Amino acid sequence: MPKIKYVEHNGKEHEVEVPAGWSVMEGAVKNLIPGIDADCGGACACATCHVYVDAAWIGKLPPKADMEETMLDFAQDLEPTSRLSCQIKVTPELDGLVVRTPKSQH
């Protein structure tokens, strides 16, 4: 099972196994990772699951869909590696993925 590392804005790390097919957001919510609220439940209708993808991984993800781009406009503190974790499906190839949560979501 792929392992995802979630890093809080203060540097605290949480490495958890997330089943392939789940989203990075589902892995966070089901493992009680702070900083990923997922108010809309993963429907790409809010930006409360905003994360920064580690630069080494950004090129391994599918590009953002138009809806994700639109919803990211509602997120604070955007960076070039900003993504909505509900839109990142976990695959075996993402084993080791590192995402950070923004300070604004804590």
* Distance separating alpha carbons of residues 19 and 45, to the nearest angstrom: 23
Tokens of 89: 């499906």
pLDDT value at residue 78: 95
pTM of the full structure: 0.95
Domain range summary for the chain, segments of one domain joined by +: 3-105
| 32-73 residue pLDDT tens | 999 999 999 999 999 999 999 999 999 999 999 999 999 999
Structural class in CATH, domain 3-105: alpha beta
Sign, CA dihedral 86-5-61-94, equals negative
pLDDT value at residue 105: 83
